[in-house]
Structure 1
Amino acid sequence: MRFKIIFFTIGLIFLPTLVEAQCAMCRAVLESEGSEATAQGINDGIVYLMIFPYVLIGGIAFFIYRSFKKKKTSNS
């Protein structure tokens, strides 16, 4: 049960309703061009690329948790 609460909390932290992923320099350059579609496309690309490190770390943490849980149940 505690494991589900932790994942739910992490999900709420990393899934905000509005994500602004551009740095100040990228935003200034893209806004000066006047093309809102280009700025939105760059922002979406940055958010998309941010997903993979979190998925990898989450997968590794899951396998570590599962291996510790198997060791604990086999020792009991």
Structure 2
Amino acid sequence: MKKLIFALALSFLLLGQLLVVAPAQAQCVMCKAQVEAARAERDDYDVAGLNKGIVYMMIVPYILMGTIGYFWYRRTHPKRTAVA
């Protein structure tokens, strides 16, 4: 029963990730278009800040999912005691 619940939860999680990815890709395309337009207007336009911001936004979901996975693993796998 636990395996079935785990499989269903994992399936819903992966499905949710697939549904969330599409708007994120479209937003990145819009950001790129805006930066290219701003660069065409001004030659000294710096995009380093925008690139760092995109990287920070990409890191947050991985940290959240890693933290949830870590606590889930700790909860489902109890500590093993050494047998003397």
TM-score normalised by structure 1 residue count: 0.53
Q: Which runs of 5+ in 1 are unaligned?
A: none
- Segments of 5+ residues of structure 2 without an aligned counterpart are 1-10, 79-84
Q: Which structure has the bigger radius of gyration? A: 2
Identity rate of aligned residues, in percent? Answer: 8
Which of 2, 22, 32 is residue 12 of structure 2 equivalent to?
2
How far is 1:48 from its partner? 2.4
Match of 1:74 in 2: 77
Change (3 A) 1:60 1:66: same
**Equivalent-residue separation in structure 2 for 1:54 and 1:67 (angstroms):** 21
1:14 to partner: Cα distance: 0.9
Give RMSD over aligned pairs.
3.4
Q: Aligned pair in 2 of structure 1 residues 57, 20: CA closer, same or farther (>3 Å)?
A: closer
Partner Cα distance (1:16, 1:68) in 2: 32
Partner of 1:19: 30
Relative contact order, higher structure (CA 8 A, sep 6+): 1
Structure 1 stretches of at least 4 aligned residues deviating more than 3 Å after TM superposition: none
